Structures are given as structure tokens and as C-alpha cells.
């Protein structure tokens, strides 16, 4: 699978990495435990089997819409089938519009039934993952909000990228050049 993700501005990335560090220090699951050099705070927009030519063409337009300011709304937890701790992002019209464009691009040239339904518009819940584990209820500790730094109220989504889950290859998805 190929993910379609967007990276955070430098200041927001530093705050997320601090949250990751504090979770490790508290003995909790943290994204900091993933030692891959490609591991960075990000927002996943979609995943598809392949970045075909038509998908890449559309994603180049999406990349041209960056940077995009977004608001962080606080701490959330998911239980599906893994336990996830994350900072939620406000699904305002600009962010949901960006997501819709990515979804339409990957859905338009991917085989039926190959896309993650949790990324589907209307079901997608924009968030920055702080920690994830297969252990159910891992993030129910009431001390969690006090352990973490204050999430950034606002941040900028800056760079569109794709990660190949089979090869581990990372690719920055550049905007299509504009001609004067």
C-alpha cells in the first residue's frame, strides 16, 4: 500500500515529538518507539495500492494547495482494533476539502474494495497519532493529559508525501509546476 500523508510545520513537529518522548518516559506506547528514519509526525489522508499516473496528477494539484493552516482541538482516543492516542484536528472546510481531493484522486484510479473505509469522507477523523498499540485500553490512564505538552492550537500542514508500506520507500509528492 501507498499512504498519502501531509507533514506538519517544524514548530508543531517539535511539540508532537515532545509528546512522543513523554509517553516513552511514562512507559506508555509512543510513536517514538518506531525507529524508522521515515517516522515523522504526520496526518494520513488516504492509502491506496499504487500511485498511478492519474492519481499522481491529481495529488500534484493537492500539493500546490499547501501550506494549509489547521486547528488542533485536543486529545482523543480510538479503540479500533488498536488503541490509539492522538491530537484531533478541526475538520474545517479547508481541511475536509483537501482530504476530499485526495480521496477522489485515489478512489478514482484504485480497484474497488482496496481503500481503507476509515479514510472515506464522512468517516475520516483527522488526527496526529501520538501512540498506538494492540493492547486494548492502553490509553485510559487519567494522568495522560497532565503528562503531555499542550498541543499546538494551530499548525500548518506543509508537505505532501507517500510511504510505501512494502518497500519502506518514502516519496515527497511535489506540486505540479506552473507556467507563467
Helices (H), strands (E): how many in the chain? 4, 7
User: 131-165 pLDDT, tens per residue?
Assistant: 999 888 888 877 788 899 999 999 999 999 999 99
- Name the nearest CA neighbour of 18 among 159, 155, 130: 130
pTM of the full predicted structure?
0.93
What pLDDT is recorded for position 144? 83
Rounded Cα distance between 74 and 38, Å, is 25
Q: Which conformational region is residue 74 in: left (phi greater than 0), alpha (psi within -120 to 50 degrees), or beta?
A: left
Residue 5 has pLDDT above 80, yes or no: yes
Rounded Cα distance between 143 and 166, Å, is 37
User: 25-56 pLDDT, tens per residue?
Assistant: 999 999 999 877 778 999 999 999 999 999 99
Amino acid at each position: 500500500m501507498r499512504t498519502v500523508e501531509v507533514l506538519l510545520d517544524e514548530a508543531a513537529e517539535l511539540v508532537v515529538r515532545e509528546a512522543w518522548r513523554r509517553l516513552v518516559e511514562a512507559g506508555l506506547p509512543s510513536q517514538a518507539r518506531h525507529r524508522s528514519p521515515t517516522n515523522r509526525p504526520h496526518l494520513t489522508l488516504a492509502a491506496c495500492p499504487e500511485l498511478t499516473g492519474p492519481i499522481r496528477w491529481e495529488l500534484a494539484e493537492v500539493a500546490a494547495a499547501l501550506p494549509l493552516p489547521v486547528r488542533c482541538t485536543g486529545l482523543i482516543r480510538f479503540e479500533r482494533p488498536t488503541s490509539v492516542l492522538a491530537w484531533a484536528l478541526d475538520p474545517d472546510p479547508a481541511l475536509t476539502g483537501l482530504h476530499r481531493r485526495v480521496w477522489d484522486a485515489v478512489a478514482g484510479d484504485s480497484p474497488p474494495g482496496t481503500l481503507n473505509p476509515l479514510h472515506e469522507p464522512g468517516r475520516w477523523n483527522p488526527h496526529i497519532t501520538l501512540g498506538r498499540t494492540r493492547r486494548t485500553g492502553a490509553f485510559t490512564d487519567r494522568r495522560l493529559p497532565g503528562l503531555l505538552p499542550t498541543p499546538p492550537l494551530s499548525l500548518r500542514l506543509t508537505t505532501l508525501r507517500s510511504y510505501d508500506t512494502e518497500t519502506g520507500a518514502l516519496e515527497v509528492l511535489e506540486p505540479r509546476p506552473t507556467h507563467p
